[in-house]
Chain A
Amino acid sequence: MNECPCGSKQSLAACCGPIIDGQPASTPEALIRSRYSAFVLGKLDHVERTHAPEIRDDFNRAEAERVARECTWRSLDVRRVEETGDEAKIEFAIRFRRDNQDMIQAEVAHFRRENGEWLYVQGDLNPKTTQRNVLKVGRNDPCPCGSGKKAKKCCGVVVTE
């Protein structure tokens, strides 16, 4: 199986693949995941196409193409999704390696739904977010993703490289 780069553990064809190929993303999270996957796969037409019209011409595609190739993309971590009507806010972090350095970049991205399609409007890099109380999920607790498995057997699985 060709696993989707976004980390969903699904196949690319069942996850970001069709969205990158032009199908509208059903949720803002699906859009941010597919945009990340598009960077990993170097398919930046999708990134450019899903920018809101007011920032589309601001996109430095040449730079994005270079960066997409220069970086080794490690992972996407979607931390929080707030959807209200036709607007949404997603907090996420990406990990990548560049110039022999491991980097992590956090962003709060804003989205808008136009004619049924979610678009990326704006991103605040490395934002100062309000502190949150995080519930610790024990290894043997049910996985918060709702799979019904224990966390240690599901999303909480520890991968040692």
Chain B
Amino acid sequence: MTAREGFDHAGRFPLAMLWVPMRQGNRDYAMVQQLGAQVQIDKKNEMYVIVSAVSFIPPDMPCPALRENGLCSIHETKPRRCKTMPFTPYREERFQSELLKPRETWLCDISASAPIVYQDRQLLDRTDFDAERAGLLDEVPQMRRYVEYMLKYNPDIRNNLVKSSLSPKAGEVVTSLSSFLTATRQTNKAQIARQQIEVLQQYLEHTAGKSAYKTHHDYYTRSLAEMQFLASRPD
């Protein structure tokens, strides 16, 4: 989701920044070039990286906004990412069909009588799709500044991105909310931090003592310490 949306939901999601690198040759490269930031691999080669705000929770955990009846509790204001999935803004419209192949975890209607959403390589209702892209495009300059900042102060990230771009198994590159708040000079850091503290404390409890959740648990621990500092400091 966009950083704006992340901040709007700072009292709900444990926020982090997710980096997804992509190399030349990928079919989505042209779209990613528009929405991402260029990262030089070496003198001759480059890649593009998409950086977005994410609700950083283990994949097998339910969304905190999910009601017991299986519906979204924030349907009207949920992030555009939730509205447009399984479509993705990082792929051209005409290539989106394969994203509609039902996945095991989907609980929605996938029968033949389900409403048609995509036909003749076009989305039937593009309102949310366009809105999501517009929101991401708006934040491109800010995201590029952030990427530049991270490459300058955390040069190791370049190697992690290269590894991750070569093998999806190398894992996601996740960076901290505090680094984004600093790099982009957010003026309401203390307020966002106060909202995050409660969320992070909850997720620390949910993920305590389970080795499968270690990556997430460690992130919550670090982020909580940073948010506690930011909350204690007037903006």
Contact = CB atoms under 8 A, between A and B. Distances in A.
Interface of A: 57-63, 65-66, 69, 125
Interface in B129-181: 149, 152-153, 155-156, 176, 178-179
Interface stretch (B49-57, B106-114, B116-124, B226-234): B226-234
B182 A59 contact: yes
A60 B178 CA distance: 7
A66 B155 contact: no
A65 B183 contact: no
Contact of B226 (A59, A62, A125): A62
Interface string B213-232: 00000000010011101100
Contacts of A61: 182, 229, 233
Overall SS of chain A's interface: helix
Given A65-B229, A66-B229, A125-B155, A60 B182 contact: yes
B155 A63 contact: no
Nearest to B228: A62
B185 interface: yes
- Size class of the B contact interface (CB-based, 8 Å): 10 to 19
Given A58-B149, A58-B153, A125-B155, A63 B226 contact: yes
Given A66-B222, A125-B155, A60 B229 contact: no
Contacts of A63: 176, 178-179, 182, 226
A68 to B, nearest CB: 11
A58 B227 contact: no
Contacts of B149: 58
A53 to B, nearest CB: 14
Nearest to A65: B229
Contacts of A66: 222, 225-226, 229
